Amino acid sequence: MVDKIAYPVQLLQPDGRRVLRPEYTNLVRDIGPDELRGLYEDLVVTRRIDVEATALQRQGELGLWAPMLGQEAAQVGSARALRPDDYAFVSYREHAVAYCRGVDPAEMTRMWRGTAHSGWDPHAVKVTNPAIVVGSQGLHATGYAMGAHLDGAEIATIAYFGDGATSQGDIAEALGFSMSFNAPVVFFCQNNQWAISEPVHLQSPVPIAQRAAGYGMPAVRVDGNDVLAVLAVTRQATQRAREGSGPTFIEAVTYRMGPHTTSDDPTRYRSSAETAEWKARDPIDRMHRLLDREGLLDEAFLTRVRTTADEIAARLRSGAVGAPTPPPLSVFDHVYASEHPLLEEERAEYAAYLAAVTDTEEALS
């Protein structure tokens, strides 16, 4: 048996040639020409979303953005493995997951623009809003998975996080708790090589997936720039969860081509040679070469994909620029599911402050 950690699962080489690994190839045997084109479109569209949002931040329309450039395959492949009732708990970089789960692009930037606590209704699309506290979503996903299991729901829950989050206590607690209670959760680590400016080898001298062994959890390492391989391993892991076989740890080996966030300058801590090496493994180029090899590319298809990407980018931009400015006191809305005395006290204090500011401005005018 091939070591799933020492030899990451790969079904598609960077030059577009397929790799035969029967255990995983069989998991994506249903992915025919139309599905391959659909995956390619997802990759192109989500990159376009990311580029547009980054431009919006540079133009002063967003306060911040966490680019996912280079990580599209890890997100699209895993998200497309989910069923409608499965629930995704994300960090702050999973814009492609949100898109694949049906989030309206016009709602994707609201939190980043500072006009709302969150962008969308998580229950409507079964994906949480961005979690800025690193690693916290691992515990949320584990708790939700346990509750769903106790309710008899045959679903899978997936928690997305980066390599840096594996150094957080919350992820360690989630891994331990999920194994103790056989929670139907998939831990999906996007190892993009850098936790802000810290290289992954400073966090772990061994593959991150090996950490799962300490909890008795099965783990698999996958080429995170190979959308077919990611789809296959995530299908396998979510099926284990649904059938009651417990949690799985997936390490998707990928690379963050851009900055950690738009406030970061990656040229200060990594070389252009390193970036160029990973650019040769670009997930979109890889799928493009596969489609070309298999005679699935034509100009009409490529034009349609570009048009779709531009239309979605335009919707994202209009949603950001046109987002209404909320009234100041709305900052207290939706913090808790029910009334909370401390929050009501803070709301009253803030209302009094706003009233005093208004009175002062009127007196001075």
Residues known to be catalytic: 256, 260, 269
* Whole-angstrom distance, CA of residue 7 vs CA of residue 135: 27
Going by C-alpha positions, the residue among 241, 246, 237 that lies closest to residue 216 is: 246
Q: Is 95 exposed, middle or buried (0-12, 13-18, 19+ CB in 10 A)?
A: buried
How many C-beta neighbours within 10 Å does residue 71 have?
28
Region of residue 236 (phi > 0: left; psi between -120 and 50: alpha; otherwise: beta): alpha
Task: Give Dmax over CA atoms of the chain in angstroms.
Answer: 80
* Whole-angstrom distance, CA of residue 12 vs CA of residue 188: 20
Residues near 214 by beta carbon (within 8 Å), at least 6 away in sequence: none
Q: Could you tell me where the DSSP H helices lie in the chain?
A: 22-25, 33-58, 72-79, 95-100, 110-113, 122-125, 136-150, 169-180, 200-203, 227-242, 272-279, 283-293, 299-321, 341-364
* Whole-angstrom distance, CA of residue 12 vs CA of residue 290: 8
Region of residue 297 (phi > 0: left; psi between -120 and 50: alpha; otherwise: beta): beta
CB contact at 8 A, 276 and 270: no
CB contact at 8 A, 127 and 103: yes
Q: What angle do CA 178, 175, 79 make, to 5 degrees?
A: 85
3-class DSSP assignment, residue 196: coil
